[in-house]
Structure 1
Amino acid sequence: MSANADLFARRQAAIPRGVGHATPVAISRAQNAELWDLDGRRYVDFAAGIAVLNTGHRHPHVMAAVAAEMEKFTHPCFQVTAYESYVALAERLNALAPIEGPAKSIFFTTGAEATENAVKIARAATGRDGVIAFTGAFHGRTFMAMSMTGKVVPYKKGLGASMPNVWHVPFPATHSGVTTEQALQHLDFLFAADIDPARVAAIIVEPVQGEGGFHPAPADLMRGLRKVADAHGIVLIADEVQTGFGRTGKLFAMEHYDVRPDLVCVAKSLAGGFPLSGVIGRAAIMDAAEPGGLGGTYAGNPLACAAALAVLDVIEAEGLVARANAIGARIKARLAGFEGRNDLLPIAGIRGPGAMIAFDIVRERGSLEPDAAATKRVTLRAAEEGLILLSCGTSFSTIRILVPLTASDAIVEEGLDLLERALAA
């Protein structure tokens, strides 16, 4: 038995099946955009820990910053004794985030904590409890985050009732046949039939839906949501957990729009592989919760804060925002070539800003009918070929590409060659 297979046999006996696995690969080490498994086989990484590693695995500057912080302390708990890295990171993000006026930041550990705490902050600021989210959205797996997530399978199935006062509006995307006008009209119907807008604390939206299939929010949707939020005193929350820190060709994906959110949720690539999340927002809203109402024992861990400061250094020093656009253009050009070939599985819907790229695998060339079974085969075959690749989407038929922004052109091309082999009909 291989070392990979042995570890997965142990995993089967020790860990519940509720934790899924995208690939049958168990790694022993990683560097930048490459992984090596327990049997010594090398892989190109087009997953980046699910968009966590925009700066790649073990970036030297990030690792050095964490090592230096570790020499001082590992966990004094910010709520007990303050430390400089937390404050410095907040100052830096407050200056960078697309927030109108003075901003403040608070840190947590996971993306779900960020989205849940954004709702808590909005509720404290408005005195209301309603939350509007979108179909196809993913905001996390804890109960409020799961309730806001707009996808039943696998995130809600068999897990009981969702939290009350969470309402979903259809997300406008080509595959769904829903227009922005229809989405905003549905929001009006919701206000007329189910919840008074004066009871709504927050509208939460991903600038590009992640698990929902990498569908960018139309600009007129963002403008419409901002108009509705302003008209009714609702807090507009941008969930940038997956889109943030250069991935979309802007530092924050909301910079693609001509409106600004009130709160921004961040996590994933914020800290280069160390667990850290946060909420950045308008100072007056952020200050609404009482002392002790927000936080967490591990929230804003100093090692993760030091890593995040280093990540921001790397993004600036290595020009990773521009690099995202260059990588994305290269990937889209290759995919466009794949789309017209009869010797590959039929694909459609190449999309995504910057290096947040996706496409759909369909049953027939020229159709939009999803093929979930073929998509699963492609991700497994990619692993066999030496490529770590993820799927997503409400129909389970979307292939997403999240190569680290630090990957060389040669690595990107190698990964695309392996993807081409995985798509062979």
Structure 2
Amino acid sequence: MADSFPVSATSPAGAVDDRPDADPDWSAALRRVLADGNQPALVAQPIVDLGSGAVAGFELLSRFPADPAATPDRWFAAADRLGFAPDLTARVVQRALALRPELPSNTFITINAEPHLVPHPAVRDALLGAGRLDRVVIELTEHVRASDDAALRAVLDQIREQGGLIAVDDAGTGYSGLEQLMSVRPDIVKLDRALVTGIDHDPVRRSMVELMGELASRMDGWLLAEGVETEGELRSLASLGVPLVQGWLLGRPATGWPSLAGAVTELLRDCMLRVSLTEHIIHLVRDCDIVTEPPGPAVPSTARTRATAVLVDPEGRPRSVLVPGPDSVAYVVPAMTVAPSSAPHDVARRALARPAWQRGAPLVCTDASGHVLGVLDVGELVDAAMAAASR
């Protein structure tokens, strides 16, 4: 469920009123939408294959008229509350499936549906009545748990028989826990953005994604990470071998079938190159802040910073690493420099041979002239060394 139901594309900025007492005439609004065969409008967000750097598919997202000015999740919540949800979901499915002849080659579409609505006759007929479902993924969003698991599984089996695939959204949160994954056995496991945001700075998130990837693999499924918004997150996901990604960094929802911007294509090529060089540490290098050492007395053993930074001399060569600690207090650790062509196990051995208080500090990767390329997280380095040893 990428983009998590943002403001309607036609809504003016700041016009959404989500107060509990702001209660527009939802019944009339929903009737107007259902009376118009061209509503709701659909936009597409690209899903990227990190193995090829190309668009692999598109998630189709609903956009509603500006009256009332509300986010799509409020429209669907109102529809569910007032009994319009089956007809509204069926309409979205019908409009999405009608776009298949225009779908670019070698791509798929994903269509969101609540599990409790999938067995409803209106939704079931919309899903199964349009012939083969090749290149179609039904994404179970599950804001409301299905009341009849057997009926849901029966429809999912029919979808698969007609060539469709099943995805489970927000894996790792809400109702989409291990029980749901084991019951549905999805073809695509879609990571919740809470596991993706800040993954480049959080070893626990990395471990969770690795576990979800292992689970998806054992179910013969694919892992898809949504909500990718920074280069660091993208590089971390690439280094973990996550095959599919989507998010605003790669492309925002748009009409038609949006392609990737040139800068995004170059970024993906760079990620692919680094991952292909897994025998070297270059694919583990992350961007960092660089601070020029001021003249005069040495920097004290503690300083203030919210992010890892490398302290360099006036010539641009690293001297120390500022490592954030509690309350934004950074500890100053002597810089250990490594070449981008170094092997992970060699660098890990050197890193862990440092004094105990320095072992967790990031390493500094430099080019041939000694200038900073970025930093390496020791946890990621050890993971890479262990992975290389197991091959």
TM-score (norm 2): 0.30
More strand per residue: 1 or 2? 2
Q: Which has the higher contact order (CA 8 A, sep 6+)?
A: 1
TM-score (norm 1): 0.28
